Structure 1
Amino acid sequence: MTAADAVPMVFVHGTRLSAGQWSMQLAALRDEFPVVAVDLPGHGDRSAQPWSLSGATEIIASAVDSLGRGPALVVGHSLGGYAALEFARRRPDQLRGLILAGASSATRGLRAAPYRLVAELVPRIPADRLTRWHDRLLRRLYPPEVVEATIRAGYAFHTLPAAWGEVLGRFDAGAMRWVKAPVLILNGEKDALFRAGEADFARAHPHARVELIPQARHLANFDAPDAFTDAVRRFARELSSAR
């Protein structure tokens, strides 16, 4: 594979986080692939922007255009995965491949109950307290090189109710019909909640497969950054060689 063949990649972060979530992946992949990570509306450098899925779609589309290499592989985690599904529906011509990480559980019906509970509880807790809790938790669980970019960027607690308010009731395995490109469903082995529908999501698409990161939880790219990156790299190389 030559540099000209390398598929461009856009990374889309999860709930309350930022583009900093992907610092390890960007560092490991940028020598082989054109890569960029975005901040969704209401997150990171776009903290002041109101959340909307349509706005998230436009941000992803602009990132794809900025790489100047045509359709891209979009890697979306959790909230970012559902935003990537919406992008696939609205901008199919810009999608070369899709990786759904921690985003293969229906947000409809009973499975949506945990999301609703979190969205209701978060606004009742002062943001500075939530920030301290998250900083301590991340530093206790992960090495500095994995989480410091995320900690520096801060957290979008204020956006969480609006973001999940729009996502809830909107997505299930049927959303895979929007995706006109190959799909890798990449989940942490121990992420029981967010991988609950992975088999249904995979069956709903003719070119989808599931891959699990051993021992990893919802933040699989933090729990096992090398394994997560390797899975992304392999899938990107498959897309590149199929051009």
Structure 2
Amino acid sequence: MTAADAVPVVFVHGTRFSAGQWSAQLAALRDEFPTTAVDLPGHGERSAQPWSLSGATEVIASAVDSLGHGPALVVGHSLGGYASLEFARRRPEQLRGLVLAGASASTRGLRTAPYRWAARLVPRVPADRLTRWNDRLLRRLYPPEVVEATIRSGYAFHTLPAAWGEVLGRFDADAMRHVSAPVLILNGEKDTFFRAQETDFARAHPRARVELIPRARHLANFDAPAAFTDAVRRFARQLPATG
């Protein structure tokens, strides 16, 4: 693959995080692909902006345009995965491929009740306390080179109720029917909740496949950075040329 042929890659972070979530992937892939990671509305450097799925779509679209290489591979984790599904529906001409990571579970039905409860609870806990808990957890579980960029960027606890409030009740496997590009459903083997309907999601799309990262959980790109990056790299190399 020549530099002119390289697939542009846009990474979209999960709940409460920021573009910093992808520091390991950006470092590993930037020599082969034009890459960038976004801050969704209400997160990271866009912390003051109100959350909306339409706003998230515009952020992703602007990132694709900024790379200047045509339609992009979009890699979305969790909240970012559902935002990427919305982007795929609204902006199909900008999508060359889609990686859904930790985002192949229906957001409809009774299984979402704990998340609705958490969305109501989070605003009642002081943000500085939530920050300390998250910092401590990430530093205990992962090496600094994987999580320090996330920790430095802070957390969007204030945006969580609005983001989950819009996503919950909105997505299921039928959303895959609006995706025109090839899809890789990339899940941690132990992420039992967010891969619950991965088979249904894959069956709903003629060019979708599932790949599991052994022993990884919901934050698969933290649990196994090299394996996650390798899966994205292989998928990007297999995407058909544009034009």
The TM-score normalised by the length of structure 2 is: 0.98
Q: Which residue pairs with 2:186 in the alignment?
A: 186
1:209 is aligned to 2:181: no
What is the alpha-carbon distance in structure 2 between the residues aligned to residue 198 and residue 36 of structure 1? 26
User: What residue identity is the alignment partner of 1:216?
Assistant: A
Give the corresponding residue for 1:31.
31
Cα drift, residue 113 of structure 1: 1.6
Corresponding letter in the other structure for 2:90: R
Partner of 2:99: 99
User: Secondary structure at the residue paired with 1:5?
Assistant: coil
Q: Secondary structure at the match of 2:228?
A: helix
Paired with 1:110 and 1:95, the residues of 2 have a C-alpha distance of: 32
Q: Which one-letter code corresponds to 1:152 in the other structure?
A: R
| Stretches (4+) displaced over 2 A | 240-243
**RMSD (Å), alpha carbons:** 1.0
The answer for the alignment partner of 1:14 in structure 2 is 14
Q: Where does 1:121-200 land on structure 2 (aligned, <5 Å)?
A: 121-200=121-200
Contact 1:189–1:217 (CA under 8 A) maintained in structure 2: yes
Rounded Cα–Cα distance in structure 1 between residues aligned with 2:27 and 2:136: 24
Change (3 A) 1:98 1:73: same
Give the aligned residue type for 1:79. L
Quote the sequence identity (%). Answer: 86
What is the rounded CA distance, in whole Å, between the counterparts of 1:219 and 1:213 in structure 2? 11
Distance 1:198 1:153 in 2: 31
Answer yes or no: is 1:86 the counterpart of 2:80.
no
In structure 1, what is the equivalent of residue 220 of structure 2?
Answer: 220
Q: Which amino acid aligns with 1:18?
A: S
Matches within 5 A, 1:44-55: 44-55=44-55
SS of the equivalent of 2:237 reads helix
Shift of 1:115: 1.8
Q: Which runs of 5+ in 2 are unaligned?
A: none
Task: Give, in angstroms, the shift of residue 240 of structure 1.
Answer: 5.2
| Alpha-carbon offset, residue 114 of structure 1 | 2.5
In 2, Cα distance between equivalents of 1:160 and 1:116? 10
- CA deviation after TM superposition for structure 1 residue 117, in Å: 1.9
Higher mean C-alpha displacement, 121-130 vs 142-151: 121-130
Alignment coverage as a number of residue pairs: 243
